[in-house]
Structure 1
Amino acid sequence: MNILKNNSYYFMKLITVCELIILLMSRDIKTRYNGNLLNYMM
């Protein structure tokens, strides 16, 4: 049970880090290409 709790906690931290990276990347893309690349990807 303890191992499961640690795994879920690690997983949640991983998701949070991924979300932060995606946010930073999307902001960087917007400033660099004025959202053209982002619109193309969507």
Structure 2
Amino acid sequence: MKSESSHMLSRNFSRIDVAVISSLILVLAGVKAMILVKVIGVP
């Protein structure tokens, strides 16, 4: 039972990791865009 539950946890964690990584990439892209806009001076 313990091994099964831990296996399920690891599966869920891997899915969560993928979501977190994708969201982090989106956030970083947004920050880069904001910095570029500030540097270039686009209104």
TM-score (norm 2): 0.73
**How many equivalent pairs are there?**
34
Which ranges in structure 2 are unaligned for 5 or more consecutive residues?
Answer: 1-6
Partner of 1:23: 29
Which ranges in structure 1 are unaligned for 5 or more consecutive residues?
Answer: 35-42
Higher Cα Rg, which structure: 2
Percent identity, aligned pairs only, is 15
What's the RMSD between the two structures over aligned residues? 0.6
Answer 1 or 2: higher relative contact order, Cα 8 Å, separation at least 6: 1
